[in-house]
Amino acid sequence: MIFKNYQRNQSVLLPPTIIDFLGESHEVVILSEFLSEINTSELEASYKNKNGGRAAYHPVALLSILIYGYMNGIFSSRQLAKQLRQNLAFMYLAGNMRPDFRTLARFRKEKGVYLENIFSDVVRKAQKMGLVQFNICSLDGTKIYASASTSKNRTQKATSDKIRALIEEAEKIDQIEDKEFGDEEDGGDPELRTKAGRDKKKKELEERRKAEDVKLKKLNSLSPMNRDTRVNLTDPDSRLMQMKRKDFANGYNVQNITENGLILSSSIFNTSNDINTLALSLEELKNRFKYPKIILADKGYSSENNYTFCEKNGIDAYIPPYSKPTDISNYVYDEQQDSYTDRGGRTFYFKQHCGLKEKKGKRGRPRKSVESIQERHRLYKRIKYVHIDEETKKKSTLQISPGWRNHIKKQKEKLSTDQGKQIYKKRMHDVEGVFANIKKNLRFTSFNLRSFTGVNIEWTLISLAHNLKKILRDCRQLSRH
């Protein structure tokens, strides 16, 4: 048999460069070229060693290592340091330097605040390439696990009670000593029968009490909070919420606004409900760039406040309503009595107003000059009417929401047209496809950093990784055509 010459220790006449092995079309080479065009001056200026001291690793090299790691589902600083010793792509990005895992972890934690401007530059670059137009954008949220165990969720009251119990237990030992019961034989704790045993037990209780004291001080430092509010001692900003798999764990609610599969902006909340996140997420996008022309979201975001916010800011919202309004055509209105009577003869009388639209006078109450019932009703979002059955005394309520009814009518009209259906279809593969890529392909399902500062840094990193991976893929496809 004839084989090609095979030698593991074959030397070469001239030392090759890493790019000779990777090739100029390799993903990491294109990534390096792309990042070289991004403005990192603010990040570089954050280093204060220009007047002396040990030379630092170049921040662009460390940034490139982190981004490429997140692009390939490698989030651990130890694993990234390992790749720098055995992976040609990582060696190329690092310029053959080998920062250790502590350097990478410290860079991510301390310099992560500068990533937001870099992220914005990447989006602007995508805009110049025609991948982003802020035209039809989508909003959706997902739950990401926090780096915190549910066993560390505590309340001020529970911690105070535990400290009190430890003090009481220590006092009982003192009472035993006072009675000189230590050497007597009975069915008590054997450890308390000797002085040495009692001293040991008291020492253990004191250490436990000090540990609980530290936890209580930590809880007291979080302001303002209710004594019964459960706060996690490991990550106080995280909250217990139901996750995607229907389990309960400490986590964060991440809201993304996307277009054409690219993340434009992100906002992170510690509340599980999406309904109050729409306006804040759109404001975040406006602060970075501008409002989108059209926003697509699921029914979890449907509320009168959200529809009104979009209308006021010139955003065309496509958000299916979560419920139908009361059909008042089935009722007869009596303006004199301000009541509604249904077809069964039940009369609902005015009870109260709910949700003032805007303040009209002192303490947010309408001006006294507003005398007309209809004028007064128009100042509020909802008007509540009540019927009381004369025999059973059972109460039935009727809520009239003119604003909500008008918004639902507009949404149904838009979403029922062929054009509206085609526009709304884009939401599914746009924003949900982004979360699917991050969670399934990049395998990012839990944060490694803690607090709002930490999780914002890490989500910016994974967003950069997602966007750059997609931009590089699109560039490669365009170059083939």
14-27: pLDDT as tens digits: 667 888 788 888 88
Q: How far apart are CA 100 and CA 123, in angstroms?
A: 30
What mean pLDDT do residues 405-413 have?
Answer: 88
pLDDT at 253: 96
Q: Which residue has the tokens 């409900």?
A: 273
Q: Rank 47-51, 226-230, 304-308 by mean pLDDT and report only the highest.
A: 304-308
Q: How far apart are CA 356 and CA 52, in angstroms?
A: 62
pLDDT at 379: 76
Cβ count within 10 A of residue 277: 23
DSSP string across 10-48? ---SSPPPHHHHH-TTSHHHHHHHHHHTS--HHHHHT--
Report the percent of the chain where pLDDT is more than 70.
Answer: 79
pLDDT at 376: 74
Taking each helix axis from N to C end, the angle separating 451-480 and 115-128, rounded to the nearest 10 degrees, works out to 20
Between the CA atoms of 208, 213, 215 and 220, what dihedral angle is there, to the nearest 10 degrees?
Answer: 170
Q: Choose among 348, 279, 357: nearest CA to 319.
A: 279
CATH code for residues 136-147+240-323+409-458: 3.30.420
Q: How far apart are CA 231 and CA 451, in angstroms?
A: 12
pLDDT at 208: 67
User: Residue 178 — very low, low, confident or very high, per pLDDT cuts 50/70/90?
Assistant: low
Q: How far apart are CA 426 and CA 132, in angstroms?
A: 14
Please tell me the least confidently modeled range out of 78-87, 172-181, 417-426.
172-181
| Burial (0-12, 13-18, 19+ Cβ within 10 Å), 190 | exposed
pLDDT at 182: 43
Compare 439 and 200 and report the one with higher pLDDT: 439
Given a cut of 50, whether residue 180 has pLDDT beyond it is no
Residues 358 and 340: beta-carbon distance below 8 Å: no
User: Residue 190 — very low, low, confident or very high, per pLDDT cuts 50/70/90?
Assistant: low
Please tell me the least confidently modeled range out of 290-294, 307-311, 471-475.
471-475
User: Residue 453 — very low, low, confident or very high, per pLDDT cuts 50/70/90?
Assistant: very high
C-alpha dist (Å) from residue 435 to 72, 245, 284, 462, 463: 15, 15, 19, 11, 10
Q: What stretches of 260-308 adopt beta strand conformation (E)?
A: 262-269, 294-296
User: Residue 192 — very low, low, confident or very high, per pLDDT cuts 50/70/90?
Assistant: low
Please tell me the least confidently modeled range out of 331-340, 417-426, 455-464.
331-340
Report the percent of the chain where pLDDT is more than 90.
Answer: 42
- Reported as a single tens digit per residue, the pLDDT across 349-401 is 888 888 777 655 555 555 555 457 777 777 777 788 898 888 888 988 888 88
Please tell me the least confidently modeled range out of 79-83, 95-99, 364-368, 379-383.
364-368
Given a cut of 90, whether residue 65 has pLDDT beyond it is yes
Please tell me the least confidently modeled range out of 108-112, 138-142, 227-231.
227-231
User: Residue 187 — very low, low, confident or very high, per pLDDT cuts 50/70/90?
Assistant: very low
Sequence spans of domains, the chain: 18-47+55-110, 136-147+240-323+409-458, 156-229, 328-400
